[in-house]
């Protein structure tokens, strides 16, 4: 897979006080701190996690 199949996600809100499954989605995407970003593969699994925590992240499609 090349760079075209990746999505850049940035955590913009805190994980404190969130549902446990939302915290796990963020960690599964590689997001641990506010302001940090991660490039994840564009798969149905990752799209589902992104949709679940869309209110916590910012998405940059490259």
pLDDT for the residue numbered 25: 97
Confidence of residue 60 (pLDDT cuts 50, 70, 90): confident
Q: How far apart are CA 42 and CA 17, in angstroms?
A: 28
Tens-digit pLDDT profile for residues 6-44:
999 999 999 999 999 999 999 999 999 999 999 999 999
Strands (E) in the chain, as ranges, are 6-11, 37-41, 57-61
Q: What is the CATH number of the domain that holds 52?
A: 3.30.1390.20
Determine what percent of the chain falls in helix, strand and coil, rounding each to the nearest 5. Answer: 35, 25, 40
The structural domain count of the chain equals: 1
Indicate if the pLDDT at residue 4 is higher than 80.
no
Domain that holds residue 39: 3-61
């Amino acid at each position: 897979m090349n760079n075209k199949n990746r999505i850049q996600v940035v955590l913009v809100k805190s994980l404190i006080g969130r549902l446990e499954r939302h915290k796990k989605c963020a960690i599964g995407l590689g997001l641990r701190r506010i302001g940090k970003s991660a490039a994840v593969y564009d798969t149905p699994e990752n799209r589902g996690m992104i949709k679940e925590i869309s209110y916590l992240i910012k998405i940059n499609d490259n």
